[in-house]
Amino acid sequence: MSDNKKPNSFSHPKKEDFTETFQWRIFRIMAEFVEGFQFISNFSKPVAFFGSSRFDESNKYYKEAQKLAKRLAEDGYNIVTGGGPGIMEAANRGAKEGKGKSIGINIKLDGQKPNQYTEESVNFHYFFVRKVMLSFASYGYVFFPGGFGTLDEFFEMITLIQTRAIEEPITVIAIGKDYWEPLLKWMENSLLDEFETISKEDLEIFKVVDSIEEAHKAINEAPGPEF
């Protein structure tokens, strides 16, 4: 009796895409850290700007970020941002106008490109690598009003200072009392007084100001190896 079954066909086993393996991801993360630290080490007297990516040039905080960045650039500081639109664009724009270095630490997102005022930039695939670079890119940090991303970066920075994960003197300025003071009052009333989850000294990690003149003075008077 004849066997009507077809002989087993031979095929090569499916080749795994190396770029989808966790080993490849580890190498890519390592490479991004190396590239990032090499990049930021090239700049002296850096001041990083944070704030909403939704503000356009008609917004008062966009204008203030542009003016402050220009003044700091004229003083010899280099301006670092996340490289995107809004406050980041305003700061990079001011840096160019003040003849300082306009630096972008960008994230690769669909539809987002470095703003046109960024002169030197580096792009990252991983958000957490970019956050580390922004956290260690400066000795001075300026926060304008923003959304979840801005608040995330603000709390990460003050936590690093509170826990002494960063040893160098760090200056953190929050601009816009109408935006920041309700948050500060909540910290004082709830975190400090009611729940006692922070100390009074923790509230001195950052300074809330209402003008770029105050911010400019605070940065120029701040201690630190580069100031």
Average pLDDT for 138-162: 95
**Residue 10 banded pLDDT, cuts 50, 70, 90:** very low
- Residue 112 · residue 86 · CB < 8 Å: no
Measured between alpha carbons, how far is 36 from 51 in angstroms, rounded to an integer? 21
Q: The tokens of 30 are what? A: 């390592």
- Position 37 in a domain: no
Q: Is residue 210 part of a domain?
A: yes
pLDDT of amino acid 223: 77
Q: What is the mean pLDDT of residues 196-213?
A: 97
pLDDT at 2 over 90: no
pLDDT at 213: 97
Dump pLDDT digits (tens) for 173-203: 999 999 999 999 999 999 999 999 999 999 9
Considering the domain boundaries, does residue 160 fall inside one? yes
pLDDT at 227: 41
Plot region of 196 (φ>0 → left; ψ -120 to 50 → alpha; else → beta): left
Q: Which residues contact 223 (CB under 8 A, 6 or more apart)?
A: 169, 171
CATH (domain of 128): 3.40.50.450
Whether the pLDDT of residue 19 is over 70: the answer is no
The predicted pLDDT at position 1 comes to: 43
Tell me the residue type at 102: S
Q: Residue range 118-129: average pLDDT? A: 92
Asked whether residue 9 is assigned to any structural domain, the reply reads no
Whether 137 and 40 have beta carbons less than 8 Å apart is answered as: yes
Q: What are the pLDDT digits (tens) for 60-91?
A: 999 999 999 999 999 999 999 999 999 999 99
For residue 18, what pLDDT is reported? 55
Q: Is residue 30 part of a domain?
A: no
> Tokens standing for 77?
């500081």
Does residue 34 belong to any structural domain of this protein? no
Do residues 56 and 62 make contact, with C-beta atoms less than 8 angstroms apart?
yes
Domain contains 157: yes
Greater confidence (168 vs 226) lies with: 168
In tens, the pLDDT along 31-69 reads 999 999 999 999 999 999 999 999 999 999 999 999 999
Residue 212 has pLDDT above 80, yes or no: yes
Q: Which residues contact 24 (CB under 8 A, 6 or more apart)?
A: 18
How many whole angstroms from its chain centre is CA 59?
A: 21
For 103, residues 6+ apart whose C-beta sits below 8 A from its C-beta are: 43, 46, 78, 79, 80, 81, 92, 95, 118, 119, 120, 121
Does 41 reside within a domain? no
Contact 29, 129 (CB under 8 A): yes
Which pLDDT belongs to residue 87? Answer: 98
User: Domain limits at 85?
Assistant: 46-221
Count: domains in the chain: 1
Kind and range of the H or E element at 215? helix 212-221
d(C-alpha 37, C-alpha 86), whole Å:
25
